[in-house]
Amino acid sequence: MTSTSKIRVFIVDDHQLVRAGIAALLKNQKDIQVVGEAGSAMGAINKCSQLHPHVVLMDISMPEVDGIEATEKLLKQNPTARVLALTQYDHEEYVRRIMRAGASGYLLKNSLADELLRAIRAVHRGQTFFTPAISNLMVQAYVKQAANQSTQKQQIHLTEREREILRLIAEGNTNQQIAKKLFISVRTVEFHRANLIQKVGVHDVASLVKYALQHKIIDMGT
């Protein structure tokens, strides 16, 4: 395999021993070539603009500029590069932030050597790669978020007046008709209608009525 067809890898980590260890591991791979390394984010950004690596292994915790900010800046200057986060942190917030910055994968430093090689090859092919522990973390976070959103919707509290107006809306009454039946102003009805839509988190009256029926906030049979 010629050098031009190899995956060009750049290593970013503020620990020289870590960089040396990764470089030694990658050295024996026929399809991978380490083209450079840097111990700081700014050093990586400057060197990558000259070396044009395919894959950048990026640590998150570094002095001055962290790996998240570095990823965003590096990809602006090198849009064809792929960043693979290689870090000790298994926190959801770090994963979200560096992925928003443009990273293509997230790998923990305690991963096996074979996993690192698979990750490099995967992101080079245009795929996204997460170490299994991170994949599980993100799934758990998604499930928790979905459960919280569902609980919040179920716990929506409507006042007696709001329920009364919602029932009249569902029956097809206009603002003027509702105002006349409840002996309030049309402006007050409009306020309650807008407030109900915002409170439930929908975008129109039809969705408001559908939501209210599904969650038994109103009963069209009554």
Q: List all residues 6 or more positions away from 185 whose beta carbon is below 8 Å from its beta carbon.
A: 179
Same domain, 204 and 127: no
- Give the chain's domain count: 2
Q: Which two tokens stand for residue 216?
A: 């038994």
Confidence at residue 222, expressed as pLDDT on a 0 to 100 scale: 45
Query: How confident is the model at residue 159, as a pLDDT?
Result: 81
> 91 and 159 share a domain?
no
Residues 105 and 201 in one domain: no
Query: pLDDT of 61-89, one tens digit each?
Result: 888 889 999 999 999 999 999 999 999 88
φ/ψ of residue 58, rounded to 5: -120, 120
For residue 98, give the CATH number of its domain.
3.40.50.2300
| Chosen domain end from 102, 132, 162 | 132
Counting as low any pLDDT under 50, the low residues of the chain are 222
Q: What is the pLDDT of residue 44?
A: 92
As separate numbers, helices (DSSP H) first and strands (DSSP E) second, the chain gives: 10, 6
What 3-state class would DSSP assign to 100? helix
Domain range spanning residue 186? 154-214
Q: What is the pLDDT of residue 106?
A: 92
For residue 216, what pLDDT is reported?
67
Nearest Cα to Cα of residue 86 among 14, 180, 188: 14
Would you tell me how many other CB atoms lie within 10 Å of the CB of residue 27? 10
Which of 132, 162, 190 is at the close of a domain? 132
